[in-house]
Amino acid sequence: MIGEPSLLTNEMVQICTRVIPKNKIRYLMGCGYPEDILESVEQGIDLFDCVLPTRNGRTGMAFTSLGKVVIKAGKYAEDDAPLDKNCRCYTCQNFSRAYIRHLFNAGEILAGRLVSYHNIHFYMQLMADIRKSIQQGNFLQFKRNAGKNFNFREG
């Protein structure tokens, strides 16, 4: 599914989940945008892996509960807020957007590590929240609410 347009991917996921036995783990390789993960979970996918959290982290793109943050943008030059005000990760608890942006501009490798750390935490939290919503029987409601800010594929 890597590199295919998301509509085609969704169509293929629907076809595959109809024929793959329900008692087997369903793995979708290379599906990494949070909005695609939500769609795929709805279709019955159980397991994912993708480079996006770290690849995008290394280049300064953070996945946040409120959408995409491209930390190199000038608007963050004096922003004392964390990458994601709703995040409890080490990066968000200890570093501001302005400082991380400064690290990128200075060519410090720590910048990419900090954003990658946050992104991995974001994905782990997303999957934990998905599992919890499934167990509580309200996945579709969770998908609607969480997905409102998920526009990571765009731009």
Q: How many CA atoms lie within 13 A of 83 on its CB side?
A: 34
Name the residue nearer to Zn ion (CB basis): 10 or 116.
Answer: 116
Beta bridge partners of 69: 62
Around 57, how many Cα atoms within 13 Å sit in the side-chain half-sphere? 24
C-alpha span between 1 and 8 (Å, rounded): 9
Enumerate residues 44-73 that contact Zn ion by CB under 5 A.
none
Total residues contacting Zn ion by CB under 5 A comes to: 6
Nearer to Zn ion, 38 or 83 (CB): 83
Strands 67-70 and 61-64: antiparallel
Residues numbered 80-99 forming contacts with Zn ion, rule: CB under 5 A: 84, 87, 89, 91-92
With 0-12 / 13-18 / 19 or more C-beta atoms within 10 angstroms meaning exposed / middle / buried, residue 25 is exposed
Q: Which is nearer to Zn ion, 26 or 118 (CB)?
A: 118
CB 6 → Zn ion: shortest distance, Å? 25
x-or-dash pattern for Zn ion, window 109-148, by CB under 5 A? Answer: ---------x------------------------------
Which residues contact Zn ion (rule: CB under 5 A)?
84, 87, 89, 91-92, 118
